[in-house]
Amino acid sequence: MAPPKTYSSISAFHSKLLGAKRILAVCGAGLSASSGLPTFRGKGGMWRNHEAMSLATLDAFERDPGLVWMFYGYRRHMALTVKPNAAHYALAELARKVPGFMCLTQNVDNLHIRASHPPSQLKLLHGSLFSIKCTRCSFLQPSNADDPFCPALAPASLPPPPNQPHPILDPNTPLPSVPAQDLPHCPKCQIGLQRPGVVWFGEQLDHQMLEDIDKWIEAEKVDLVLVIGTSGVVWPAAGFSEQARTKGETSVVVVNMELEEGGRNNRPEKEDFGFEGDAAVLLPRLLEPIIGRMVVEEEGEVRWVGGRS
Ligand code: BV8
């Protein structure tokens, strides 16, 4: 792995970090990439022979709920088989050390939560694979990690043969069609089909959450915005860093495997920073003056040494 190319000096960033009282983070799929979860760009953008984004719509679900549930059954299974990485733990520790830190994530994989990120400093912009809601009465099950979610979705949770891709990913292997009656129905109204508690394209984000984020950004100037592992293509998530900048004297810090990649509002201002490389390698280094160094105990317990008390 090539050493991260830094377009900015880490020491200059560290002095900015140590003076920062209010920090916002906007995270995307790149944050979970080194945990082993595909991003939406490149080959990760396709599921079998479907555009992943085309399956993340109410239309697709109404057209073929079995196919869309197989897609989400697979992503739930994958998210359960991987672990949070050092970047998730670094952000969680930053939240414990900096009360003025707020983390906005587009990721629905629950890895921030499994890294014990304080819930009051975390906003799940696009929901979670592990909350389930009724398409008819909106009855919500906030946390369900059944894998498979129901017997009909078992093919999506099969362990792949060693060193081979998951059989379900092979578009040449026919996907068992799942009739709607075999799909999960609402335990409350007994009628509605259940769906993953994620925000699909064309659907509004949670209104109260958007209001809370707006209030947090507008309350006081934001010193730093960390834009981590996101292509900045999806709205309204892509707009928060510029909104924070409007309060003035804000440095936007992009952490991405490809800094030059298009999409993101790439007009770095002189106070901004850019660090190119794996977020799981870069974030612990960038946040070290505050969070210290991560130590993983035998049983996998994570603790921090050093840093700001
Ligand atoms: C809405 C949940 C009101 C489901 C998701 C304004 C302009 C244009 C379009 C719109 C607009 N306003 C609204 C729209 C429409 C649409 C939109 O933004 N379309 C885009 C595609 C143009 N937005 C919506 O529909 C939103 N709703 O606006 O409602 C409304 C309604 C109708 C019409 C108008 C208004 C709802 C959007 C939410 C959709 N749900 N997820 C699911 O996951 O299945 S979005 C989903 O895709 C993710 O959550 C995420 O947001 C997005 C993927 O983006 P990224 O996370 O950035 O991932 P990506 O793969 O693209 O990039 C990865 C990056 O990481 C890359 O830069 C790569 O270089 C980097 N990387 C890779 N490895 C690493 C790394 N970096 C560091 N380390 C590594 N190791």
Q: What percent of the chain has pLDDT over 90?
A: 78
* Residues in binding site for Zn(2+): 134, 137, 186, 189
pTM: 0.95
Mean pLDDT of 139-164: 92
**Ligand 1 within 6 A of CB of 39:** yes
Q: 305 CA to middle of ligand 1, Å?
A: 35
Give the number of the atom of ligand 1 that is nearest the alpha carbon of residue 255: 77
State pLDDT tens for residues 2-18: 554 555 789 999 999 99
Mean pLDDT of 210-215: 98
DSSP 182-213: GS-B-TTTSSSBEEEEEPPBTSPPPHHHHHHH
**Ligand 1 within 6 A of CB of 227:** no
Mean pLDDT of 83-105: 98
Mean pLDDT of 50-67: 95
Q: How far is CA 88 from CA 1, 75, 103, 209, in A?
A: 20, 19, 11, 21
Whether 126 sits among the annotated catalytic residues: the reply is yes
pLDDT computed for residue 84 by the predictor: 97
For residue 105, how far is the Cα from the chain centroid?
A: 5
Q: How far is CA 209 from CA 29, 31, 35, 123, 226, in A?
A: 20, 22, 27, 7, 20
**Ligand 1 within 6 A of CB of 33:** yes
pLDDT computed for residue 298 by the predictor: 84
Gap between the Cα atoms of 176 and 193, Å rounded = 19
**Ligand 1 within 6 A of CB of 46:** no
